[in-house]
Amino acid sequence: MKQISKNSWAEPFKIKMVELLKMTTPAQRKKALKEAGLNTFLLKSEDVYIDLLTDSGTSAMSDQQWAGMMLGDEAYAGSSNYYHLEDVVKEVYGYKYLIPTHQGRGAEHILSQILIKKGDIIPGNMYFTTTRLHQELAGGRFEDIIIKEAHDSANEFPFKGNVDLNKLETLIKKHGAQKIPYVCIATSVNMAGGQPISIKNLKELRTLTKKYGIRIIHDMTRVAENAYFIQQLEKGYSKKSIKQIVKEICSLTDGATMSAKKDALVNIGGFMATNEWDVFEEARNMVVVYEGLHTYGGLAGRDMEAMAIGIKESVNDNHIRARVGQVIYLGEQMMKYGVPIVKPIGGHGIFVDAKKMLPHIPQHEYPAQTLAAELYLDSGVRTMERGVVSAGRKPNGENYFPKLELVRFTIPRRVYTQAHMDVIAESAARVFERRKKIKGLKMIYEPKYLRFFQARFEQL
């Protein structure tokens, strides 16, 4: 099997400005965690040492992007930054029509309301929290069609983001193609551990969906990271640039939602894109109601300029190699200490298997939530739960109990150094050493939507 290049990488930038980090004492962390209801989302950022909560909106912008911020054309309508962004989206991704939104979920909201009717089925390669919620709020139901390997944290298949085409065809035959407005395909599947989909699988999916007249909508939040795995691991792609591969991925789909806060290297922003004029027309009507005029979608001109520049930087081969290289480095350090992680290592972070690390804590006592709290106590490193708390409840009120119960160590882009990675791995190793003494949690407050953001816990 092909392997990811083992040649050393180094950050393809030098540092021009620094932000000092705050160190805390164990007593300070204990107090802060208690006040946060043992939920790392409720910690104050000033109480965090190394922040791996998310890679969303946490990237460091380049000097070019900051210079772009000064070129913000803050007009209500027709800002020149919008036209720049439109050109870049066409050039880099190839989609015809663009609707900017304040972030990814703004795009998901508009797309779901336009395409989904009550009773529809939306198949996808594993759910994402906000994506599925918007599908459900529009009256649809999500169906998981990812290959079964994705649900097994130890399976080392390189493309665990692939779609099980048999599962999809069975769904189509059962419900009829008219009940399926689109298949939702994420690149670098977040909830599976940042696992890529292969071009081969995407091409087969294109053929199958064409046969039934069903669209493919691309959740392209981490498309550049996915392209890196294709370049390194898929036959026939080692000589292609990330830019070429990204464009090929997009060309196999009909439209997209994007959270530019991830791969596109900005702190805020997103968009919806489509190749269909009718869908664009409707989206242009809706965006005015929920986000802002169709030439700004809730963003300042300067935000759109930073996004346009960030998109171009995100498909640079040297950038993406160092980005994913850093994630792989952290994963390899953690494996050396015996910490059980999802394999293969994905593109945006390391996912620790909490069921394996804390087998004595049953899933209804939140092993991943527990582990995230323990890590913070140990070193001030902030991670997040991706397990039963994130999975939430079904529309009928029952809990989803996902197979994967993970703690995500998400690496912000261009923010931390290799020495930080060492400190993080050592902290994970210390918690691993005392894992048998760790006790589970009970939930004492549960919000109605996306509970993982605001739920509160107590130790059992």
Ligand X SMILES: *Cc1c(COP(=O)(O)O)cnc(C)c1O
Q: How far is the CB of 176 from ligand X (least distance, A)?
A: 27
140 contacts 121 by C-beta, under 8 angstroms: yes
Q: How far is the CB of 191 from ligand X (least distance, A)?
A: 8
When asked if residue 59 is in the footprint of ligand X (CB under 6 A), the reply is: no
458 — phi, psi (to 5°)? -135, 150
When asked if residue 56 is in the footprint of ligand X (CB under 6 A), the reply is: yes
Q: How far is the CB of 190 from ligand X (least distance, A)?
A: 4
When asked if residue 261 is in the footprint of ligand X (CB under 6 A), the reply is: yes
Cβ closer to ligand X: 141 or 261? Answer: 261
b/e code 363-397 from CB counts within 10 Å (16+ = b)? bebbbbbbbbbbbbbbbbbbbbbbbbbbbbeeeee
For the annotated catalytic residues, the residue numbers are 76, 128-129, 219, 262, 386, 452
Query: Alpha helix locations (H) across 11-103?
Result: 26-35, 63-69, 80-88
Cβ closer to ligand X: 190 or 201? Answer: 190
Q: Where are any strands of DSSP class E within 64-135?
A: 97-101, 121-124
What one-character DSSP code corresponds to residue 439?
A: -
Cβ closer to ligand X: 49 or 182? Answer: 182
Cβ closer to ligand X: 29 or 105? Answer: 105
Question: Which H or E element spans position 357?
Answer: helix 354-357
Cβ closer to ligand X: 111 or 352? Answer: 111
Q: Can you say whether the dihedral through the CA atoms of 183, 185, 191, 193 is positive or negative?
A: positive
When asked if residue 58 is in the footprint of ligand X (CB under 6 A), the reply is: no
Q: How far is the CB of 206 from ligand X (least distance, A)?
A: 20
Structure tokens at 254: 């009909």
Cβ closer to ligand X: 104 or 123? Answer: 104
123 contacts 168 by C-beta, under 8 angstroms: yes
Would you report the helix, strand and coil content of the chain in percent, each value rounded to 5?
45, 15, 40
Q: How far is the CB of 55 from ligand X (least distance, A)?
A: 8
Query: Which of residues 163, 186, 339, 361 is near ligand X by CB under 6 A?
Result: 186
Give the contacts of 20 (CB within 8 A, at least 6 positions apart).
Answer: none
Beta bridge partners of 258: 271
> What is the contact mask toward ligand X in residues 81 to 120, using x (rule: CB under 6 A)?
----------------------xxx---------------
What one-character DSSP code corresponds to residue 286?
A: H
Number of residues that bind ligand X (CB under 6 A): 15
Query: Which of residues 201, 231, 259, 333 is near ligand X by CB under 6 A?
Result: 259
Put the strands of the sheet holding 406-410 in their side by side order.
Answer: 349-353, 406-410, 384-386
b/e code 179-215 from CB counts within 10 Å (16+ = b)? bbbbbbbbbbbbbbbbbbbbbebbeebbebbeeeebb
Task: State which amino acid sits at residue 208.
Answer: L
194 contacts 348 by C-beta, under 8 angstroms: yes
CA atoms of 161 and 146, how far apart (whole Å): 7
When asked if residue 190 is in the footprint of ligand X (CB under 6 A), the reply is: yes
Task: State which amino acid sits at residue 382.
Answer: R
> What is the contact mask toward ligand X in residues 121 to 150, using x (rule: CB under 6 A)?
-------x-xx-------------------
Closest by CA position to 223, among listed 170, 161, 168: 161
Q: Which of residues 191-230 bind ligand X (CB under 6 A)?
A: 219, 221
Structure tokens at 218: 């691309």
Cβ closer to ligand X: 104 or 440? Answer: 104
Q: Can you say whether the dihedral through the CA atoms of 248, 249, 254, 260 is positive or negative?
A: negative
CB nearest ligand X: which residue? 104
Q: How far is the CB of 132 from ligand X (least distance, A)?
A: 10
Q: How far is the CB of 53 from ligand X (least distance, A)?
A: 12
Cβ closer to ligand X: 131 or 195? Answer: 131
Q: How far is the CB of 110 from ligand X (least distance, A)?
A: 12
Cβ closer to ligand X: 186 or 315? Answer: 186
Q: How far is the CB of 52 from ligand X (least distance, A)?
A: 15
Q: Which residues bind ligand X (CB under 6 A)?
A: 56, 103-105, 128, 130-131, 186, 190, 219, 221, 259, 261-262, 270
